[in-house]
Amino acid sequence: MKLAAEEEELLGTWITSSTGIKKDRVCERIEALVAHHLQELGKDRSGWDTLFRDPDDGRLWELAYPASTSEGGGPPRLSRVSAAAARDKYGHAE
């Protein structure tokens, strides 16, 4: 479940079927990482995007919802972010 050193981005997808919409495995992995592994550092001003740190290697990750016009913001994206970008958007990168 941990993030591999070469990973830069995880992009979830919603799958539409005759029984409705369900999350793909990437969505489920992002949810598990956020709930059980990554450490939350804060939210941006909008309250939608969240900054996390991987306790294993200190890398910073941002949870965002790029399909903001979809219900609930759409499927999640977890992407690596630099300390400088984190400071600009979140005001810190500790």
| Residue 13 is assigned to a structural domain of this protein | yes
Structural domain harbouring 15: 9-90
| Residue 19 is assigned to a structural domain of this protein | yes
| Residue 4 is assigned to a structural domain of this protein | no
* Residue pLDDT, tens place only, 26-79: 999 999 999 999 999 999 988 889 999 999 999 999 999 987 666 666 899 999
* Residue pLDDT, tens place only, 28-40: 999 999 999 999 9
In sequence order, what E strands does 1-94 have?
9-11, 14-17, 20-23, 39-43, 50-53, 60-64, 77-81
| Residue 1 is assigned to a structural domain of this protein | no
For the question of whether the overall pTM of this predicted structure is more than 0.85, the answer is yes
The number of distinct structural domains making up the chain is: 1
| Residue 81 is assigned to a structural domain of this protein | yes
